[in-house]
Amino acid sequence: MGRLFGTDGIRGIANQDLTCELATQLGRAAACVLTNKSNRHPKVLIGKDTRLSSDMLETAMAAGLCSIGASVVTLGVVPTPAVAYLVEKYKADAGVMISASHNSYEYNGIKIFSGDGFKLPDDLEERIEDIILGKSDISGEFPLEDGIGTVTHAENAVRDYIDHVKSSVHFSLDGLHIAIDTANGSASATAETLFTELGAKVEMLHDKPDGINVNRDCGSTHMESLIEYVKTHEVDAGVAFDGDADRCLMVDEQGNFIDGDFIMAICAMDMKSRGKLAKNTVVGTIMTNMGFQRFCEEHGMHFEATKVGDRYVLEEMRLSGYNFGGEQSGHVIFRDFATTGDGQLTACQLLSLLRRREGNLSSLATLMQRFPQTIVNLQVSPEGKLAFYTDHKVRSAIDKAAETLGKDGRIIVRPSGTEPLLRIMVEGKEEDLIEKIANDVAEVIKAELC
């Protein structure tokens, strides 16, 4: 067994890669690493999304935690950022979210938050892995009798999270008419109540989860149906979340797609104009569009790039005292209100801004000029992922592509942290050229690694 944790927790096909046995082991190991040893019954929260296997993994994870003496509190179906918020509000020692985010229903995942609501740093993940993989032992004996842990349910988890997000909004959404695509995921438990209570008129799409339809032709990874709805109905905006609602993408009133870079550009300018953007800096990743970087330069803002993954964006924000950042995929972090990306909070902030300015989303989205960008995903084996770093022909093809693009473009090829894929991203001024370069490099990779 190789490394368990990727860029966003442990993820795999449920009951094949991510088994009940592994979830139970993870519960035991996490309890040992994360909780206060002086606390006989440390408290651990567990939230989940709507996919079929979430109940199974929740039960297995709870069993592992109880076997170490933890007091488990289940939250039910909630967004990932709800776990991050509630772990601190409920004074828990740790929080767990069972979700595979944007993946289809056969996948599931386990994300762990420490008691301060932040995702685990690499060193703690490695300590948990060492226990599971047998490189270190769980010290002491398992508790007996009244030392065994218990499971209770938090009845007010959804309400407490909704109230938290509402408290971040200081200008109501009265008068706005919006379409919301919940991806048949976690936001189906919260979004209609949240946005309605803030004053918006809402049209709900894909909000009837059945265990297997999460992210299926809907949500932030499949924007087509939301775009079509906005084009054929008179609404002010469309909002799409992924399966666990930690990311948000949007559609303007004309049916144009608004990705995370555009959302960040609009919000960053507004925060800067109000003196709310810490150190006049926005944190993104190496995948952030070059147009956004130039936008920051033109408007007196500094841009910091990190590795791909909202955890790395947040680490840089915490390290350097920044309060705003995110990813093109829609993970946007408002550090003044949250310890992780929060799709619904992001939508609330942007829609409140829209209402306050009495404008429309299409006009605000023109602030930034996006460079054409194409992404090719190639399925590879774990061995292929490793060989990518050393294969001479692949490296040579990438170097040649970079030389062709010059200073007005770039190529980034990287292994996915959550799926068995290599991602080829090419960006530049000429759309035909970047597509040709991306396909040429993809052919070399296919011949060498696939």
Give the Cα separation of 51 and 213 in Å (integer). 8
Length of the chain counted residue by residue: 450
Which amino acid, 147?
A: G
Q: How many CA atoms lie within 13 A of 32 on its CB side?
A: 25
CB count within 10 Å of CB 2 equals: 7
Annotated catalytic residue 101: yes
**Which distant-in-sequence residues (6+ apart) come within 8 Å of 298 by Cβ?**
none
CB count within 10 Å of CB 203 equals: 16
Give the Cα separation of 195 and 215 in Å (integer). 21
Give the Cα separation of 320 and 373 in Å (integer). 29
Token readout for 289 is 């569009």
**Any idea of the CA torsion for 50, 51, 52, 56, to the nearest 10 degrees?**
-80
Alpha helices in 51-186 (DSSP H): 54-67, 80-89, 122-132, 157-167
Q: Which residue is it, tokens 């979340």?
A: 241
Among candidate residues 54, 71, 101, 329, the one labeled active-site is: 101
**110 and 117 Cβ atoms separated by less than 8 Å:** no
Give the Cα separation of 99 and 8 in Å (integer). 10
β-pairing verdict for 201-205 and 177-181: parallel
Active site residues: 101
